[in-house]
Structure 1
Amino acid sequence: MNKPKEILVTAFALFSLFFGAGNLILPPYLGFKAGQDWFLVTMGFALTAVLIPVLGIFAHAKLQGTIYDFGKKVSPLFSSIYCIVIYVIAISLPAPRTASVTHEMAIAPFFNTSTLVTSTIYFLLVFVFVMNRNKILDLIGKFLTPLIGIILLSIILVGIITSPFELSKPLLEAPFSGGILEGYQTFDAIGAVVVGAVIVISINMRNNKTFEEKKDLITKSGLIAGFGLMVIYTGLILCGSLFQSKFSLDASRTEVLIGLSNFTLGYTGSLFLSVLVALACFTTAVGIVTGTSDYFKGLFNGSQMAYVVTAILGCLIGVLVGSYNVGFIIDVALPALMFIYPITIILIVLNVLPDKYATKIVFRAVVLITFLFSIPDFLKYMMPLEDIQYFLGFIPLSEYSLAWVFPSIISFLLMNLYVNKFRKEKL
């Protein structure tokens, strides 16, 4: 049996590994843009930033392997390529972004140092934690996450109590889909398949549990972490909407979050926020680099040298990319997300479903269709050509950059009808 304390520690670790740069700066900005439509935005954001990531943890509880297991029903080649793409994206964009956010919000307001100095020191510390990965659950779950939660809840509670309670008109044309797409920028679906594997490996290193005990531990921890994310996101989005009138219309994501902390906790709030940003971003970076190093260690037959070399390369990339500003990294990330996020969501959902509804042929058909219908959305952000816009006009939800959704659902239903019919004929 899993002890409640063990479940809570693992849940806290999961929450902290999820809760990084994007999770902090995106919700208040969404609320600021949403105004009166804050609830619709919250529901859209929760879909891709809470529900899908939690389902990803459920999939890990079911598979109890690595990220490779998510795509192996399609084919070994596809799964290998998918893993490499995911880890390259994760270690090149969201991990370095945590250093960039830390500099802009926690270092620049107090110290006159360059972003390169910040990212260098930052990823030296990340490397130290990654090389002591057997202590990750204890360090993150017992100490860092509770502190993050206390600071965040303080900002939210004081914000709701002291806000002017003025909900202005929304600045978003499509609040629900806007929330969905902004949820992409958290990278949490990708985070689920990456850090979920870190949790599985860490549990295996620490405990001699049965398959069912580990499944129970991971599932319950995922639910608690998801609930925590939902509470924090809702609170930050609501606060952003309540304080909308306090910001200029062209305020940036970081300006809204910094302003919110000043309005709620004053100068002390800025200090608290600095600690929060550093902790939240740091734990996510540690999770990403550890997960990537684990994967390449597995590729080279458990070689510790491969683990160390990957960790060094990941931290060097972090130093270089992390020296750029947050806005630049977010802009660069968007096309990659439009391409890989739909495939990741589909793989998570198919792996959670009962095996009878997610056979190999279903996997292959749905993933292929999702891949094909993600290409126009990807190209739209890479090179907005008129021909692409014309083609997208015939696909439902394409105007919201969700052209893949209906084709994926239809292919899933049709393939299951075909599989069931084939089974009956065989009988």
Structure 2
Amino acid sequence: MPQTLKTTDIIATGLMTFALFLGAGNIIFPPFLGHMAGTELIVAMLGFLLTGVGLPLLGVIACARAGGGLEKLTAIFPPKVALTFAVVLFLAIGPLFASPRTAVVSYELGLLPFMSGPSTLSLALFSVAFFAIALYLALFPGRLIETVGKLITPLLVVVLVVIAVGAFLFPQGEAGAATESMISQGFFNGFREGYQTMDTLGALVFGVVIINAIQNKGVTDTRQVARYTFIAGLIASVGLSLVYLVLGYIGSTSHQLVAAPQNGAEIISLFVNAVFGSWGKVVLAITVILACLTTAIGLLSACGEYFSRVFPALNYRSWVILCALASALIANVGLNTLLKVTIPALLIIYPVAIALIMVTLLKSWMGNPKRVMTCVLIPVGLISIVEGLHAAGLSFVGPAYDLLAYLPLQKEGLVWLLPGVLGGVLGMLTSVRSSDVAKPVQG
């Protein structure tokens, strides 16, 4: 069996990884952020790229170093905590939020422009058809590199290039004025908007999909698998950065097209129609449906892989079918409702995921990684729960939320950062002391 990948397979794996990440949120959030940022686009995009590209790349690297997906990373947690966190994350990135969003965005940007108006029936029928296709392709995870990396993604890249060329050759105006919040906190607003791509969570989920795809090509050496996983993540990061910058630029120069858009989907739809005319609807439909379809395939595959291992009463195919049915059902609530519900969940999950990635990457320098993780997880987890429940409008957490105002970076959405860092330092110091005590006296 071959121990190395051909160059074409390496590129295809990178394109597959790029396509897995490039989904609904990646298309609708950058233009909306760009519209709000206007002349402050560069500062806002730096924050967005940090959470939308930098952290996902670190997540892929963490999975590669751990030799697997989320289960390997959460082995540092107590078993019950690891299981709870993993199940919540897979439900969020799968059938509850991210997976249904792929169908809804595809419907609003891909199908709705060809219709006289939205309807409950058309959304329901589209959701069923969309997830039927995604389900068919996800049932064969060993073919992901061929179906996604070598077939679907190249077509997606071509269409994205067409949109990028149109953005720079036919700009629809100059950069508009930035909102007040973008002038004062553009970087941190971009940082928080990057949460909603869910790519950092996706990295923990897709890590095992990428690794399995590489191993299915005959690569069994763990170092080689880690190396190819890193290369795939790097290719995906470059591609995502370029897409985000183009979409952000479109949003910042779209003020003449739309003064107060409801979401990024509206901006992209109006821009493509203005630049490409009637053909713009076709270009947009192909772009969005392909991008969202590849992400849906990856999410279904990852959820099926995980749940079939943890809850083996159902096999991989059964879990994939169940997740597809749940995703198709939840997609019918609509885009705006999904976005509102997603934010509180992300405020709870994201900081914990970031802490997990950082500890995994640095644990070779730690005397007791489990102790460090515990010291980080307790403050980060508690603060994140309060932030998320407050964002959900639950008043009983009001007193606890008010106490967080005494900590730095609350307005910036990073109130958990300093307590997490201090917890990590405490964990490392106590680990050093424990190891020093355990050492025999030399002499």
Bucket of the pairwise TM-score, normalised by the shorter protein: over 0.9
Number of the residue aligned with 1:119: 127
1:412 aligns with 2:424: yes
1:341 aligns with 2:353: no
How far apart in 1 are the matches of 2:79 and 2:216?
Answer: 26
In structure 2, list runs of 5 or more residues that go unmatched.
none
Matched residue SS, 2:177: coil
1:107 aligns with 2:116: no
Number of the residue aligned with 2:168: 160
Number of the residue aligned with 2:406: 394
1:195 aligns with 2:198: no
> Which one is further off, 237-246 or 190-199?
237-246
- Residue 372 of structure 2 contacts residue 426 of structure 2 at CA under 8 Å; is this kept in 1? no
- Residue 29 of structure 1 contacts residue 240 of structure 1 at CA under 8 Å; is this kept in 2? yes
- Residue 134 of structure 1 contacts residue 202 of structure 1 at CA under 8 Å; is this kept in 2? yes
Aligned length: 425
Cα deviation digits, residues 304-338 of structure 1 (max 9, x gap) = x5212211211111111111211110101111111
How far apart in 1 are the matches of 2:421 and 2:331?
Answer: 38
Deviation at 1:130, TM superposition (A): 1.4
> Which one is further off, 247-256 or 41-50?
247-256
Number of the residue aligned with 1:321: 330
Number of the residue aligned with 2:319: 310
Cα deviation digits, residues 112-139 of structure 1 (max 9, x gap) = 6611001011111111111122111111
Number of the residue aligned with 1:295: 306
Matched residue SS, 2:380: helix
- Residue 34 of structure 1 contacts residue 172 of structure 1 at CA under 8 Å; is this kept in 2? no
Which structure 2 residues correspond to residues 47-126 of structure 1 after superposition, within 5 A?
Answer: 47-90=50-93, 91-111=95-115, 114-126=122-134
Cα deviation digits, residues 356-377 of structure 1 (max 9, x gap) = 2371111111112210111221
From 119, 129, 136, the equivalent of 2:144 is 136
How far apart in 2 are the matches of 1:251 and 1:290?
Answer: 32
Number of the residue aligned with 2:369: 359
Change (3 A) 1:199 1:250: closer
The one-letter amino acid of 1:353's match is: L
Q: What percent identity do the matched residue pairs reach?
A: 28
- Residue 29 of structure 1 contacts residue 257 of structure 1 at CA under 8 Å; is this kept in 2? no
Number of the residue aligned with 1:242: 253
Deviation at 1:111, TM superposition (A): 4.2
How far apart in 1 are the matches of 2:89 and 2:173?
Answer: 42
How far apart in 2 are the matches of 1:376 and 1:391?
Answer: 10
Q: TM-score when scaled to structure 1?
A: 0.95
From 229, 232, 247, the equivalent of 2:243 is 232
Deviation at 1:83, TM superposition (A): 1.3
Deviation at 1:346, TM superposition (A): 1.1
How far apart in 2 are the matches of 1:335 and 1:356?
Answer: 33
How far apart in 2 are the matches of 1:244 and 1:421?
Answer: 58
In structure 1, list runs of 5 or more residues that go unmatched.
none
Change (3 A) 1:66 1:250: closer
